[in-house]
Structure 1
Amino acid sequence: MKIVADENIPLVNEFFSRLGEVTCFPGRSLTAADVQDADVLIVRSVTKVNEALLSGSKVKFVGTCTIGVDHLDQAWLDAHRTRWSSAPGCNANSVVEFVYAALAHLNINWLPVKFGIIGCGNVGGLLYKRLKAQGVEVHCYDPNLSLSQNPDLASLEDVLACDVISMHTPLVVDGPHPSFHLLGHKELAQLKSGAVLINAGRGAVIDNQALLDVLTARTDLRVVLDVWEPEPDISLELLDKVLLGSPHIAGYSYDGKLNGTEIVYQALCKHFDVLPKASIAALVPPLANNQLRVDDESKTVFEIAQSLIKQVYDIVADDSRLRETAQKALNGEIKFGEGFDNLRKHYPKRREFHNYRVHLESISEADKQWLQVLGFHCV
């Protein structure tokens, strides 16, 4: 069996070579010629899987190691009896930790604020559960859910009136609830003074030109963008206006990417009725040197959380690398789109909070539990 895969999928050979011959290519530049003789195609979100790519090929299984599937032409795949599978929830925890890291860096204590979430699927739903467990007032907008599924559902207008709004909706361009340009000039104008807007879902859910116009007119808004419209050739003017910008890496924790690989591997095994023989547990040893420190336990639990998060994930480094890439592009040293993709391709190995332990002696059990909701192991 011939398997063509994106070269940036971690442990792709370790998992899939047990099932066939694996050949890797850059995902964004994958061509029809690359997949012509393949039986299986394994991709990420940068590869558009459609008739242009697969027509005339032997591919009968497509796996995407991502939560989102808007890069797959599902109708075409179904019509041509090509089985496809995704990895729902694989990097949800990674994205949630990105949100916490952004707020911690911006010194925004999320405990006393009114928190809005747009899109409460795998990612937004996990963020919702964490915030509720920490005692935060949360309002959610998701037209695909009912009050029985989420008792804190609210209108889009109500969510836009919150102090912090975090967006986690997939990109949907048709149907009863399209999300394309869900936030345009009208919606962005509703944001309250000093509001925080985070988009770690899909770039085109916010009209990026409208956002640039609003940020040009208003300096009070605090915006964090991990996703852009379009990618990889994003608006450098918009990057200059946001407080934190990153190259679509919120879900790029090593743990999240490994989850995606394993989920698609298991789906392929099931498709061919083969018993899975590879696993993350067998291939990846526990993290060494996983002890974190707290220098002053008399600080508030939010301040302790800020310290712990920064030790694990320096989100400012992501922002700095993107801005350095933009400056090089403006200087004519590189093409920005290629630099954007290289930041993703060579992204440092980021481990999630649950891999770390912290020894705490004098803080309350309630505060320990609050930190454990974030994922840290408190002893």
Structure 2
Amino acid sequence: MKIVADENIPLVPQFFASVGEIQTYPGREITPEHVQDADILLVRSITPVNRQLLEGSRVKFVGTATIGLDHVDTDYLESAGIMYSNAPGCNASAVVEYVVGTLSVLADDLGFDLEEKSVGIVGRGQIGSRLEKALANLGMTVKSNDPPREQAGEENLFPLEEVLQCDVISIHVPLVEDGPFQTRHLLSRDIIENLRGDQILINSSRGDVLDEAALKDRLKAENPPSVVLDVFNGEPVIDVELAGLCHFVTPHIAGYTLDGKVAGTEMIYKSLCRFIGLPERHKLGQFLPEPPLKKLAFSAGADPFWALHTAIRTCYDVRHDDSNLRRTLRLPAEQRGKAFDELRKKYRVRRGFEQVKIMLKGGKAELQSKLSAVGFNIQSK
């Protein structure tokens, strides 16, 4: 059995070597010739999986180690009798940590307390629902919008117009091209033009969810909002001028904790085992290394505000990724796309908040609650 895989999916040999022969390629460069005699295809979000790629091949299973399926033509796969699987929720905690970490730094940069701010979450899926809970437990006012879920009967959702009036807007929707709930340019020019100067916009979903040309115009206009972009139209080649106007820009790494990426690999491995009737011989815990940071300790006299933000930024500080991406934007145009992909390929080992045990002396129930809300393991003395 032959397996073709994106070379940047972690631990593919460890999980899949017992299933078949593995050949890896850069995800953007996988061609019909590569998959012609393959039985299994393993991808990430950067490989379009469609008729053009797979017609005439013997592929019978496609696994994408990502939450979304917008890069996969599921209608074609179903018509061709090809099984497919994704990894819903695999990196949801990582994206929540990205947003929380970014807000922590912005609180200093822009001079506000988290509890003062309201947050509008666009999309209450795996990520949005976890983010809603975390931010509410941090004391922030949270309103979420998700028409498909509202139609399915979920409660406590708000109209998009109301959500867009919040101090912070965080986008967590898939890219949907057709049907009643399309999300391409969900944040249209009209919406973007009406963003206030005191608002913060964070997009870590898909670049095409907002109108980048309109956003660039708004950021050039008087009293612009503060914008954080982790995703862009046309990746890996991004709009340098737009990036320069944003408060922070990062190279599509919001979900890039090692824990989240390996969870995606494990999930598609399990799906493949079920599909071909093999026992599951491997588990995530077999392969994850010991985290470089295991414990943080705060004394009884530690200021709760300082302790919360210190813990968050010790695990994730958006300024590191922002600086790395901005350095690539100074390269010649023909080198920037490769540099963007290299930042993702060689991304540092970032571990989830849940890998860190925090030692608290003297109770501090409020601090304990907030640290737990964003995923830390707490031990009080």
Residue 353 of structure 1, CA deviation: 0.4
How far is 1:289 from its partner?
Answer: 4.2
Q: Find the residue that maps to 2:259 and give its secondary structure.
A: helix
Match for residue 83 of structure 1? 83
- Relative to 1, partners in 2 of residues 1:149 and 1:128: Cα closer, same or farther, differing over 3 Å? farther
Aligned pairs for 1:24-173 within 5 A: 24-107=24-107, 108-146=112-150, 150-173=154-177
Please give the secondary structure, in 2, of the residue aligned with 1:111.
Answer: helix
Deviation, structure 1 residue 173? 1.0
Preserved CA contact (<8 Å) 1:31 1:53 = yes
SS of equivalent to 2:116: coil
Kindly state the Cα deviation for residue 7 of structure 1 after the two structures are TM-superposed: 0.4
Alignment correspondent of 1:308: 311
Structure-1-length-normalised TM-score: 0.95
* Number of matched pairs: 375
Which among 250, 256, 260 is matched to residue 252 of structure 1?
256
Distance 1:269 1:329 in 2: 45
- Please tell me whether the aligned partners of residues 297 and 304 of structure 1 are also in contact (alpha carbons under 8 angstroms): no
Please report how far the alpha carbon of residue 300 of structure 1 lies from its aligned counterpart in structure 2 after TM superposition.
3.4
3-state SS, counterpart of residue 185 of structure 2:
coil
> In 2 relative to 1, CA 339–285 (structure 1 residues): closer, same or farther, beyond 3 Å?
closer
Q: Secondary structure at the match of 1:375?
A: coil
1:369 aligned counterpart, secondary structure: helix
**Farther-moved stretch of structure 1 (342-351 vs 291-300):** 291-300
* Cα deviations by residue, 1:13-33 (Å, 9 ceiling, x for unpaired): 100111111111100111111
Q: Take 2:289 and 2:342, find their aligned partners in 1: how far apart are those partners?
A: 27
2:38 is aligned with what amino acid?
A
- Offset of 1:60 from its aligned partner? 0.4
Listed one character per residue, the Cα deviations across residues 93-115 of structure 1 (whole Å, up to 9, x for unaligned) are 00000000100111153322111
- Structure 1 window deviating more from structure 2 (132-141 vs 119-128): it is 132-141
Closer, same or farther in 2 for the Cα pair 1:148/1:53, shift >3 Å? closer
Q: Which whole-Å CA distance do the structure 1 matches of 2:114 and 2:258 have between them?
A: 26
Deviations 1:210-229 (A, max 9, x none): 10011010344110000111
Question: Could you give the per-residue CA deviations for residues 176-222 of structure 1, whole angstroms, max 9, x where no partner exists?
Answer: 01000011221012323310100011110001111001101034411
- Give the unaligned 5+ runs of structure 2: none
2:340 and 2:237 map into 1 onto residues whose CA distance is 8
Residue 238 in 1 paired to residue 223 in 2?
Answer: no
Matched, 1:319 2:332: no
Q: Distance in 1 between matches of 2:48 and 2:117?
A: 39
Partners of 1:64 and 1:87 within 8 A in 2: yes
Residues 239 and 295 of structure 1: is their aligned pair in 2 closer, same or farther, counting only changes over 3 Å? farther
Matched residue type, 1:86: N
- Contact 1:114 1:162 (8 Å CA) reproduced: yes
Cα contact 1:94–1:352 (8 A) shared by 2: yes
Corresponding residue for residue 352 of structure 2: 352
Distance in 2 of aligned mates of 1:199 and 1:177? 18
Give yes or no for the alignment of 1:225 onto 2:233: no
Q: 1:329 aligns with which of 329, 332, 336?
A: 332
Distance in 1 of aligned mates of 2:116 and 2:358:
25
Larger deviation, residues 313-322 vs 264-273: 313-322
Q: Take 1:343 and 1:157, find their aligned partners in 2: how far apart are those partners?
A: 36
Give how far 1:342 is off.
0.8
Deviation string, structure 1 residues 245-286 (Cα, Å, up to 9, x no partner): 011110111010001000000000000111100111122244
Note if 1:4 corresponds to 2:4.
yes
Residue pair 1:160, 1:190 contacting (<8 A) in 2 also: no
Tell me how far 1:149 sits from its aligned partner: 5.3
Confirm or deny that 1:209 pairs with 2:203: no
Displacement, 1:131? 2.1
Structure 1 residues 250, 149: closer, same or farther in 2, change over 3 A? farther
| Correspondence for 2:15 | 15
In 2, the alpha carbon distance for the partners of 1:257 and 1:161 equals 34
8 Å contact from structure 1 (residues 60, 83) kept in 2: yes
RMSD between aligned residues:
1.6
